[in-house]
Chain A
Amino acid sequence: MPVEIDVTTVYIEDRPYPMDPEQNLLHQCLSAGFNLPYFCWHPALGSVGACRQCAVKQFKDEHDKHGRIVMACMTPASDGTRISIKDSEAAAFRAGIIEGMMLNHPHDCPVCDEGGECHLQDMTVMTGHDYRRYRFEKRTFRNQYLGPFLNHEMNRCIQCYRCVRFYREYAGGADFNSFALRNLVYFGRDKDGVLENEFAGNLVEVCPTGVFTDATLKRHYTRKWDLEFSPSICTQCSLGCNISIGKRYDTLRRVVNRYNGEVNGYFLCDRGRFGYEFVNSERRIRQSRLRTEAIGPDAAKRHLRDLVASNPGVIGIGSPRASLESNFALRALVGPDRFYAGIPSSELELLRLMLDILRSGPAGTPSLREVESSDAVLVLGEDVMNVAPRMALSLRQSVRQQPIEIAKRLHVALWQDHGVREVLQDAKGPFFIATSSATRLDDIATECCRGAPDDVARVGYAIARALHSSSPEPQDLADNQRAFVESVTNAFKMAKRPLVISGASYRNIGIIRAAANVSRVLPGATLSFITPECNSFGLAFLTGTSLEAAIKAKPTAAIVIENDLYRRLPAPEVDSFFSQCAHVVVLDHLENRTTTRAELVLSTATFAEADGTLVNNECRAQRFFGVFPPSETIRQSWQWLGEWENLDRVIADMSGGVPGLSGIAQAAPSAAFRMSGAKVPREPHRWSGRTAVLANITVDEPKPPVDLNSPLSFSMEGNPDQPPAALIPFFWSPGWNSAQATNKFQEEIAGPLRGGDPGVRLIEAGQGEGIPMASRAAESDEDARLSAPNRDRQGADAFNGALFASVPSAFQPRENEWLIIPLFHIFGSDELSRAAPAVAQLFPDPYLALNADDAAKFGAEASVMGRNLPVRVTPGLPQGVAGLPSGLPPLEGIMLPAWSGISRI
């Protein structure tokens, strides 16, 4: 969306600069490359004028020699404004502000986890304040226990109010606040306890000093300058947030946000930030093994080759958590006909349908930035916070879009955060949620509508119908559904940028079709599908055959990559599959039930040791790069499976061989890329211990490991200039050691990274290069079959023009049986972060979710699907519907939704 902006001229030190009058001077000065210190302003949080650090001198006109001090963050960059940053009075004032902040600051930099990447350190140096005149005692605070993710050291606080603004106002948290007044202002909870908000971890980067630091990093602490970084992609949900991963020695030490203007912006969710520790897990497979014997990598590879040669019917089972390259390598090894997706058909078919819908448009699929700027949102059947957490944070901002018009009308500048919040008060734009139980975004919803998955689909269809008469009409809606439909329709008709969100959580085809219909009859709408895993779409690009089909094929040999099949299908089915399979090869990095069934286990790289491409929920292909040097024993799946010389060769074969993937090479520069002949260093130039790290083994300085797969070096050597956006290992710029250095990498503050945000979109709105929608109509029998619970009642679907035609019938509760739906948990439902100790502390225990009426019937415990589980009252569950947490052992592998009896114990 090109936005036309006026350009005005602002004079800084009497020289003219073109600036955006809609912005404030601080924002524009930073965009123009000036170093102006600040604290309370944050590019995503706007200005509040609390810290007074960004003071500059403003002059009335060119004759005014006196001027007056103003706060740059609170002053619009209007035409003809004349300011001086260098002015001595302004400079002295800024140094005075730092001096004020330092009165009580403990000056504990040497033992502070923030040291070396501290905005307070940077700004102190920038203002030149260096001499302490305060001769009194410092005040001290008591610190709090805030849960497994964050340390709290309140004495370091400079009271900039960023944390509380982020936590409460931006992220919607309620259990954190500022307390007391004068120089005793305290930021924390009313009592010790785990922070409830799923984005609390961002305080690590939001806080300009060391009050909130990463508690997982603390357990294996290393300074930023001593970490080796790689640009990576979070693998813990389908959104593909960009992350920077840092390692030292042989452990991964932490994850921080890697700004991507289109995707995650400045923030991550806590699963993404703290779930990384599975990489260091005890359960890692660090050595290949044949049955129970460890074997060397060459022997392992030989065994694999022999096995494939002697079993011509060998099949490959891919994975939605493995990279495109690894899946492709398996496909290439066994042949496309014998390559299976490794996920059940109920999921795969939905993914394929979503891709078809996106290909044929006309609704485009939005990036998270676009989600954030949507002005009316309908969520159909997704608990966004627990399935795609970072999107929930974007949605929290989207509900501000419509009310923000009020601020515009009153001429309150949009960057003036408290002014805008004052004007908006509690006003929220249209945001509608139709799900089968309560979600963590209900508090910002205009209206919620609860119903069984089929009823969610019917409500979706009814909305499409109300917007356009050619969409089919569901019969006999209940009054509450009708009212909900009317509210959504009215809001959508008024909206400029409406958005429909849906996905595969309930494995319900009707919901996806209904979402497609709504997006198609609504001009200007975008449609966002949430997929279950980090490369679900990538996998669906590669194959259309499901895990059930693999089982049906009764192969004698199977190769499974990065996939625990026991999480995909019920254990008896997986057991019998493995039993009838003479040879099973498993490539994975954590021990699981599937690896125990393997004859040959190949120790495989995690995302931190691998390079590859993932396709996120907006079909953005993004490249990630490993931070660990290549290892003989631990290899990437595609390296075990093939003989490619490097990643680029895999990509070349794949983009030539798989329809729809031709663009992926552009996701990042190839391994041959050099900046002035040099690679991009993974290590900061201050990285220490280069010669000492291995001194206990050898005093020779070893040659840095060679990276054949990327233009990054495992060294501090390389070109120190800014690399292309997809290759930025960490944000650092002279004088800017903290995460705020991001400023220096953007085309404009909070805008795209220089040269464009990373990633290539494989599908743009309506540009179908795959199968046109109409042709899939022929498979309508297949489609109808997919809506599992209602299989028998679902009529054949057919397109009416470009619209889906078959509306599911209303959900009928059964006598003595419940439809059990999956319920998702940000901490617990994801497979890999389960092996991260900090995240593991927050898992729920398995439970049976019932509505209040049912819960009263069964009491504290009940038996379902052969298990006794504690009962948890879950608001919103309709009559006849119950829930089980998804992915929580021992409940993983149960195919939900499914009908089941529940009995009293």
Chain B
Amino acid sequence: MIYNEPSPLEVKVISQRFTLPNSAAIDTYLATDGYLAVKKALGMTPEAIIDEMKASNLRGRGGAGFPTGMKWSFVPRKTDKPRYIICNSDESEPGTCKDRLLMENDPHQLLEGMMIAGWTVGSNKGYVFIRGEYRYLIDIVDRAIAEAYERGFLGKNVFGSGWDFDIYTHTGAGAYECGEESALLESLEGKRGIPRLKPPFPAVVGAWQSPTLLNNCETFSAVPAILRMGGPAYAELGTPKNGGTRLFCISGHVNKPGVYELPLGFNLLRMIDEVCGGMRNGKKLKAVIPGGSSSPVLKAQECDVPMDFDSMAKLKTMAGSGGVVVLDEDTDIVQLAMRTMKFYQHESCGWCIPCREGTTWLKKILDRFHEGDGRSEDIPLIGELARNMLGRTFCALGDAAAMPTIGFIEKFRDEFEAHLLKTQDPQSPELIVL
């Protein structure tokens, strides 16, 4: 099922089958170039596949944008340990809803991508780690896996290559932190979902002490197309070092919110105006959260920008997971900051103190502030507490909570101050004019 009208501006590479009837069925997939790429891969050397991946300039769609080909090359192949392929479908970053569509509408594309990865690094086992709330998707992916086994595409001797490959689904239990790759591994191994120290990185010591290739669902889903069209052709679709297309999940105050496949580097304002039909109710644009709730907000005047990893980094924010949240002039930034922190507080795994206590405290301050009981010292305190987390917590969840908060408080300090003035009793002796 698709949830929004496609846009003519889309460049459909990984979402090409979304609109087909019965798109998740293996026959639909086979009728539309399905499983050609893996057959091609089985005739290639791992080095050649990795070269192709590097040439594609594909960067991880899970958030960090790490070059995928390079990650694949890190997995040691000369080892007597098993190697694992893990698809991160824990999709929990607020504003992000693309892995869901990929699994719902084209699960075989994902399986094929994982198979190619498996062949490349010499793995015989893959896991699709799906967030627990996506209950219905587990059934869809399980069905696709069963179909692939039925046809002999998975299991022993894949396509007569002599190579065996199995795929299993595994569910998370509803913790955002279990999307962080090392916490995901802990959860997969049946332990508490707390992160591991890195290094060693999963590519070297991952699941069950073995080399593990872990990519986002969308990352794997792009692989079959890359092998079919060739790395350079895929790279061509995007901007330098930011190859291909990605699914932008555009939500917020636009007329036509939805998930759209667009080339990397597509201009953000054009996304709002041309792809999403402009601002809802003709309101003015105030700000955009460009890459999921962890990415620092962009003010309207910063939004005339190509949407790729490097351009976002230049603006000190992130392309992240592709969750674009468009905010109109009526948006209450204080409320937004409060709501964002509520999420991170709820999801902190509780391992390290700055994040565990920092998010709790920040949530309480922001709650109270928003409700109209703010104190003038709250504004600097919010900044201080957020900065105390930044780069100093055990894992990146602390950063993910700190970055947007710092963004809100720095870029919209005036709104916080105005909120304080508006809500404070002007007679109050506590009122300090900022």
Contact = CB atoms under 8 A, between A and B. Distances in A.
A181 B348 CA distance: 7
B345 interface: yes
A403 to B, nearest CB: 10
Given A133-B381, A182-B350, A423 B209 contact: yes
Given A183-B357, A425-B208, A136 B200 contact: no
A184 B175 CA distance: 14
B388 interface: yes
B209 A183 contact: no
A419 interface: yes
A183 B200 contact: no
A183 B356 contact: yes
Contact of A182 (B360, B377, B381): B360
Contact of A419 (B200, B361, B394): B200
Interface string B167-209: 0000000010100000000000000110011001000110011
Contacts of A412: 200
Interface in B335-367: 345-354, 356-361, 364
A49 interface: yes
B387 to A, nearest CB: 10
Contact of A53 (B193, B347, B353, B356): B353
A419 B197 contact: yes
B394 A182 contact: no
Nearest to A419: B197
Interface string A116-140: 0000000000000000011010000
Interface in B368-388: 368, 377, 381, 384-385, 388
A418 B185 CA distance: 14
A699 interface: no
Nearest to A179: B192
Contacts of A418: 196-197
A53 B345 CA distance: 20
A402 to B, nearest CB: 15
Nearest to A160: B353
B209 A93 contact: no
Given A182-B347, A183-B348, A100 B208 contact: no
B92 interface: no
A847 to B, nearest CB: 36
Contacts of A104: 357
B391 interface: yes
Nearest to A133: B381
B433 to A, nearest CB: 22
A100 B351 contact: no
Contacts of B384: 96
Given A52-B392, A69-B391, A134-B361, A181 B349 contact: yes
A52 B356 CA distance: 11
Nearest to A51: B353
B350 to A, nearest CB: 4
A178 B354 contact: no
Given A52-B394, A181-B175, A97 B354 contact: yes
Size bin of chain B's contact surface:
35 or more
Nearest to A103: B357
A68 interface: yes
Given A69-B392, A423-B209, A101 B357 contact: yes
A422 interface: yes
Contact of A101 (B196, B351, B353): B353
Contacts of B197: 48-49, 74, 416, 418-419
B209 A422 contact: yes
Contact of B394 (A49, A53, A158): A49
Contacts of A671: none
B393 interface: yes
B350 A410 contact: no
A827 interface: no
A184 B354 contact: no
Contact of A103 (B351, B361, B392): B361
A422 B352 contact: no
Nearest to B360: A183
A159 B209 contact: no
A194 interface: no
Interface in A51-68: 51-53, 55, 68
Contact of A50 (B345, B351, B368): B351
Which of B197, B348, B384 is most buried by chain A, counting CB atoms within 10 A of its CB?
B197
B208 A49 contact: no
Interface string A173-189: 00000101111110000
A100 B353 contact: yes
A183 B350 contact: yes
Given A49-B352, A51-B352, A182 B392 contact: no
A183 B347 CA distance: 10
A410 B200 contact: yes
A180 B350 contact: yes
B351 A422 contact: no
A180 B193 CA distance: 10
A136 B352 contact: no
A412 B391 CA distance: 22
Nearest to A185: B350
A812 to B, nearest CB: 47
A486 to B, nearest CB: 24
Contacts of B351: 50, 161
A178 B364 contact: no
A69 B345 CA distance: 23
A51 B384 CA distance: 18
B148 to A, nearest CB: 30
B361 A100 contact: yes
Contact of A423 (B205, B358, B381, B393): B205
B167 to A, nearest CB: 23
Contacts of B352: 49-52
A419 to B, nearest CB: 5
A69 B392 CA distance: 7
B359 A182 contact: yes
B350 A96 contact: no
A161 B349 CA distance: 13
A134 B357 CA distance: 11
A182 B345 contact: yes
B372 to A, nearest CB: 15
Contacts of A184: 350
A344 B118 CA distance: 69
B192 to A, nearest CB: 7
Nearest to A181: B350
B356 A185 contact: yes
A42 B197 CA distance: 17
A119 to B, nearest CB: 15
Nearest to A136: B364
A774 to B, nearest CB: 50
Contacts of B345: 182-183
A159 B350 contact: yes
Contacts of A49: 197, 352, 394
B369 to A, nearest CB: 12
A96 B388 contact: yes
A97 B388 CA distance: 9
Nearest to B182: A422
Contacts of B354: 52, 96-97, 100
27 contacts: A48-B197, A49-B197, A49-B352, A50-B351, A50-B352, A52-B353, A52-B393, A93-B388, A96-B385, A100-B358, A103-B361, A133-B377, A134-B361, A161-B351, A181-B193, A182-B348, A182-B349, A183-B350, A410-B200, A418-B196, A419-B196, A419-B197, A422-B196, A423-B200, A423-B205, A424-B209, A425-B208
Given A100-B361, A103-B361, A419-B197, 11 more contacts: A51-B353, A52-B354, A52-B394, A96-B384, A96-B388, A104-B357, A136-B364, A178-B192, A181-B347, A183-B345, A422-B209
Which 9 A-B residue pairs are closest in the complex by CB-CB distance? A100-B357, A185-B350, A183-B360, A182-B348, A181-B350, A136-B364, A96-B388, A100-B353, A425-B209
